């Protein structure tokens, strides 16, 4: 299934894709705390499928936290690693880089194990960032929704208080009219 698999993290995405009839791999979303083991499971799944060439690339779509009242949907290419020309660091002189290639430098553990570790670390760090930005976006959206609900309830409370006051005044006015009418009728 190269290039077309979906991996979903969280209940809302799962519900949406089930309704759409799409096939996908599912990981449970974080409740309140983001756990390292959850991120490592996602990392291991993505890396193993990418290295087995089940995925041509890994794109992550998530809500990027901009501010408390603003989030944007962002797409991030996790794998293969892509560095934009503006963020590239200066290249090493050919002689120094040549030591790595020719084997003049002894690296323990092996260079492959070091690179493998660094790739896993880089993927995990990016997943941490994405998980926390998603959580921050979710919490800010909840807070804004709660603020909106609070304002709506405040308006309802004010309207109910006005209706109550109006009803009490109407009842008092009717009672006063009835008393006045009865006194007038009985000549008091």
The 10s digit of each residue's pLDDT in 14-65 is 888 888 888 888 888 777 778 888 888 889 988 888 888 888 888 888 888 8
Angle, helix 111-186 to helix 36-51, in steps of 10 degrees = 130
Helices (H), 29-83: 36-51
| Residue 36 near residue 42, CB atoms below 8 Å | no
The answer, as to whether pTM is greater than 0.85, is: no
Domain-wise residue ranges, the chain: 42-83+107-186
- Alpha-carbon distance of 136 to 123, in angstroms, equals 20
**Sign, Cα dihedral of 104, 107, 112, 116:** negative
For residue 16, what are the CA distances in angstroms to 28, 75, 130, 137, 150? 14, 18, 20, 19, 29
pLDDT confidence of residue 1: 40
Token representation of residue 167? 């009803």
């Amino acid at each position: 299934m190269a290039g077309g698999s979906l991996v979903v993290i969280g209940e809302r995405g799962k519900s949406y894709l089930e309704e759409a009839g799409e096939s996908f791999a599912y990981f449970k979303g974080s409740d309140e705390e983001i756990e390292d083991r959850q991120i490592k499971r996602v990392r291991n799944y993505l890396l193993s499928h990418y290295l087995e060439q089940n995925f041509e690339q890994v794109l992550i779509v998530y809500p990027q936290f901009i501010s408390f009242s603003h989030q944007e949907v962002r797409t991030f290419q996790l794998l293969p690693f892509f560095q934009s020309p503006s963020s590239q660091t200066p290249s090493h002189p050919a002689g120094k880089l040549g030591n790595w290639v020719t084997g003049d430098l002894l690296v323990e553990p092996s260079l492959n194990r070091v690179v493998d570790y660094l790739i896993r670390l880089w993927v995990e760090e990016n997943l941490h960032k994405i998980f926390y930005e998603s959580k921050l976006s979710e919490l800010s959206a909840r807070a804004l929704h709660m603020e909106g609900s609070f304002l709506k309830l405040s308006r309802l409370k004010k309207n109910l208080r006005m209706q109550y006051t109006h009803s009490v005044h109407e009842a008092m006015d009717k009672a006063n009219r009835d008393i006045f009418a009865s006194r007038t009728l009985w000549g008091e």
